[in-house]
Amino acid sequence: MRLKFVFAFVILFFSMLLVRIYYLSIKSNEFYEQVAKNNVISTEYIPPVRGQILDAKGRPLAINNLGFSLSIAPHLKDAALQSELNNISRYFKDLNVTAMSKSYKDANSAYNQDFIEVVPFLDYNATIQHFASLSLHENIKISPASQRFYPYGALASHIIGYVGRANKKDIQSNPLSALTGYNGRSGVEGYYNELLQGSKGERKTKVTALNQVVEEISMQEPSSSEISLTIDLELQKYLEEIFKDKDGVAIVMDLRDGAIIAAGSFPEYDLNTFVGGISQAQWDELIKDPRHPFTNKLVNGLYPPGSVIKMAVGMSFLNSGKINENWSVFCSGAIELGGRKFRCWKSWGHGRVSLVEAIKGSCDVYFYEGSLLVGIDYMSAYLQRLGFGSKTGVDLPNEFVGTMPNKAWKMQKFKRAWYQGETVNASIGQGDVLVTPMQVAKNTAQIASGKAITPHFLKSIDGKPVEFAPTELFTPKEKAQLPLVRRGMYEVGNNPDGGTAYKLIHTAVVPLAVKTGTAQVVGISQTTKKRMKEADMDYFHRSHAWMTSFGPYDKPQYAVTVLVEHGGGGGSAAGPVIMQIYEKLAQMGYIDANATTIKDSAKKTK
């Protein structure tokens, strides 16, 4: 029995020994073979050069300056590190030694075997004269680098956007930014960041134990895409010139597909300030500026629309089933509701008006009375269908939706019931109604074209056009109503008998359909008998001035929307800007002033 036990133990022992020999000689060999391969094959990732941004005619809006970066070998002691930092600062006296030291120490660790970047970018010409001297320092590595540059500084800043140094949050969501060092922050730089950033390259080499390259095994070049925008640099410069002493927004949109050929949020800011890092003092100055240069007012500016929303409100009336195109009201200058007077802007009234006349004269009472018949819920739902209270889809990041209020919205937000007085306020674009200029421009373009349009800035990727085809939006019934709304807009600028913008618009280079809007910034007391003139008010208490338009009226090609912040009356402040823009469009050949057929017949109706 004892012999059997010894025999079994010997067999078990030798079995375990054989298994261990097998593992060490066969299985573990595969592991160590892979480790050996990793030891002799070095993989280097190559950052892509960010793609350029061009205007519609191929002129550069965002490019890359070529230069160098400086890195220092890892694991240096304090004295050796300080010596190398002093060597660098000897050649480049403007560099901050403390900042370089911090960058090095933050990235240095026992596990890091790569050189540590301490200077992300140096100008090519400034570096090349010291290149040979720097190369003599074995602990300093000079590498090719690029840095974003915006040739026109502040021009179209809210459209182009900027890149900034990648932080930890960026790297978590976009690992490639750890290699490139930059991430798109705003504008199309942010929206199309992946396209512009591209993909990394990869170089595999066989190296010795001392990390000397013996042989290149494979090489995959990095790649990125160049994009062209729809904006025209010349027209963009013209908008900047017009708004040099104004704050606000201008949008010029092609009605064929929603391409925006020029747009601006004013004032603008210099994009190059952000590329290398902005100082706290510069940041504070930008953020605290009451003119809000850092806000992209195209999509993040929320304003009461005033009367520029009346075309959409009028269409909600016609489609409610409660009002038709012949329905009219008598405007005596105000209505009384719940013991409160709701005034028309024209204190002596418009007399009897229907839809076309109400748009022409911007009669508030017509919209007050209509809204009370239709109700806020239907009106709100219809305007949301036309694009208010929702994103336009424009290719800019963080677009706001605005507010198109209704009963449920108020209950959810304020836990209070809706009042009829709020309905009449909403019908003329006041109260809780808030829109972005892009929403107003899109709505105008859809009224003019009869199609659903997506406003956009992207024209092509690597020279290949990108299509933004319009789709159907309006029902056959609504399409039959559009001529009424368009006619009302035409009368605004071309009918001497009550057209609110006639004096400003009737001499336009082509016949225009327009709508003025004056959006109050501060309320008017019920006890006020005569309203103070806008010019006499404090600047920031003056109303915002709107005008939205399309033209030529008979053959619509472009929609132009303008908002002048605190400009006072819509026509007087925004009208001259609209006129200048259409004149420039004709001058540049975007519009043929001789192709329209309506001017002679229009003169006969005046």
428 close to 310: Cβ distance less than 8 angstroms: yes
Find residue 341's DSSP bridge partners.
336
3-state secondary structure of 586: helix
CA distance linking residue 605 with residue 475, whole number of Å: 31
127 close to 248: Cβ distance less than 8 angstroms: no
Q: Which two tokens stand for residue 62?
A: 């965002």
CA distance linking residue 422 with residue 420, whole number of Å: 5
519 close to 426: Cβ distance less than 8 angstroms: no
Number of C-beta neighbours around residue 545 at 10 A: 28
Find residue 123's DSSP bridge partners.
67
Q: Which two tokens stand for residue 118?
A: 């301490």
Q: Which strand (E) or helix (H) includes residue 425?
A: helix 420-427
pLDDT averages per 10-residue partition of the chain, 606 residues: 66 71 62 60 87 98 94 92 92 90 90 87 91 90 92 97 91 91 94 96 80 80 96 98 96 98 97 87 90 95 96 98 96 94 94 97 97 98 97 98 97 96 96 97 98 98 96 96 97 96 95 92 44 51 90 96 86 92 97 71 40
Q: Give the closest residue to 385 by CA, choosing from 301, 443, 325.
A: 443
| Residue in the structure block whose two tokens are 């190369």 | 135
489 close to 515: Cβ distance less than 8 angstroms: yes
Q: Are strands 60-72 and 53-54 parallel, antiparallel or unpaired?
A: antiparallel
Q: Where are the beta strands (DSSP E) in 388-485?
A: 458-461, 464-465
Using CA of residue 264, residue 267, residue 272, residue 277, what is the dihedral sign?
Answer: negative
Residues contacting 377, CB < 8 A, separation 6+: 406, 407, 408
Residue 23 is predicted with a pLDDT of 64
CA distance linking residue 194 with residue 190, whole number of Å: 9
74 close to 112: Cβ distance less than 8 angstroms: yes
**Letter for the amino acid at 355?**
L
Q: Which two tokens stand for residue 549?
A: 């338009």
